[in-house]
Amino acid sequence: MIYLDYAATTPVDQRVLDVMMPYFRESFGNPSSIHRFGQKAESAVDAAREKIASVLGCQSDEIIFTSGGSEADNLALRGAMMARKDSSKWILIAKTEHPAVSKTAIQLEKEYGFLLEWLDVNGHGQVTVESLAKAVCNHTTMASVMLANNEIGTINPIADLAEVAKANNILFHTDAVQAAAYLDVKVTKLGVDLMSLGGHKFYGPKGVGALYVRKGTGLVPHLTGGSQEFDLRAGTHNVPYIVGFAEGLRLAAEEREARTAHVRPMRDHIIGTVLEGISDSKLTGHPEQRLPNHASFVFNDVDGNLLLQLLESAGFACSSGSACKTGNPEPSEVVTALGHSRNWALGSLRITLGTGTTPEQVDSFLKTLPSLVEKARSLHR
């Protein structure tokens, strides 16, 4: 089986696993305990926080550990808006956001009375400076725009968008969960107030994430109890996963150029071959400003889920977009936001590469795909 779904999740790097293992058994203490077992665990959490802060270019006490990217998104949006419930009105997001952002924003509107406005995206799925500037009003409290899109690979101009937000005294959050494996996530360059990360996208473990919170950005905790994470996220620290998250992020930053150089030529080969060799095919997302490991398409008159099943039977693990979307007979909201008709949007396919991908695997995939698209078309008709 050839794995081509690295945007959904990645295998844990052996070096990450190696640093995690001692904290399952030998150094198993609770960081909140005052004895030496607890102190050793607390020291590991502190060191992980410092390691992450070094990659992000921030202070260690600006890092809040969570159970993953989705929880980090939830804490950012709900925590910030609830902290400003007496003065806040509008929250701005794009329809191309991950459901962890969009569904949280919808709930804030439906259950708590905040006002939600959807930012326009261009044909490549980007939120432009003009789009954000047009949507801002006197009562706008917060904007959330993802750094890189998980379904279509498009990279947003976050530093420019954050400048617009800052000029209008608006909190700016970015979901960088998909981006951190390949892009620079230094908050000093991005200029954001809040940023979400998830460990399993960069060869770390599942079930752990982090939220960067710029100092002075008030949040209401959504998980109450103990005083962990500066009173913003109660619960006993998941020490081995936190240690693994930090090491995975460090390696992603350290090896970024080499990993990019490995995947980009294969990605370009996939995009060129598919667009030339398969009729009624279109690239989704930006042709240049996209993640280096990410190729995504729509095919006219194709059932995307059927195509995934045919690929699975042929020995290839791909996706129709977000891992959360697989099996959904409705077209992705991200793809429809690009302006594609239902007939095109239903035929989406995402191929994402990783450190384990080889040119031979890509060639094998490209030899197999055209006939499977034709088969899916004939069955669809």
Residues annotated as catalytic are 324
CA-CA distance, 202 to 374, in Å (whole number)? 34
User: The tokens 């924003």 sit on which residue?
Assistant: 105
Q: Is 175 helix (H, G, I), strand (E, B) or coil?
A: strand
DSSP letter (8 states) at residue 300? T
Using a 10 angstrom Cβ sphere, with 0-12 exposed, 13-18 middle and 19 or more buried, the burial of residue 166 is: middle
Lookup result for tokens 């530093």 = 159
> What CA–CA distances, in Å, run from 13 to 46, 127, 202, 270, 354?
22, 33, 9, 25, 12
Alpha-carbon span 238 to 281, nearest angstrom: 45
Instruction: Let me know: does 348 contact 335? Beta carbons within 8 Å.
Output: yes
Structure tokens at 171: 């909190």
| Structure-derived torsion over alpha carbons of residues 142, 144, 145, 147, reported in degrees to the nearest 10 | 120
Which two tokens mark 237?
């620290």
CA distance 312 to 179: 26
For the chain, the first-to-last Cα distance in angstroms comes to 29
Residues whose CB falls within 8 Å of the CB of residue 346, separated by 6 or more in sequence, listed in order: 302, 303, 304, 331
Supply the Cα-derived Rg of the chain in whole angstroms. 21
Query: Which H/E stretch holds residue 296?
Result: strand 294-299
Q: Please state at what angle helix 359-380 crosses helix 304-314, rounded to 10 degrees.
A: 130
Strand order in the sheet with 294-299: 281-283, 294-299, 348-352
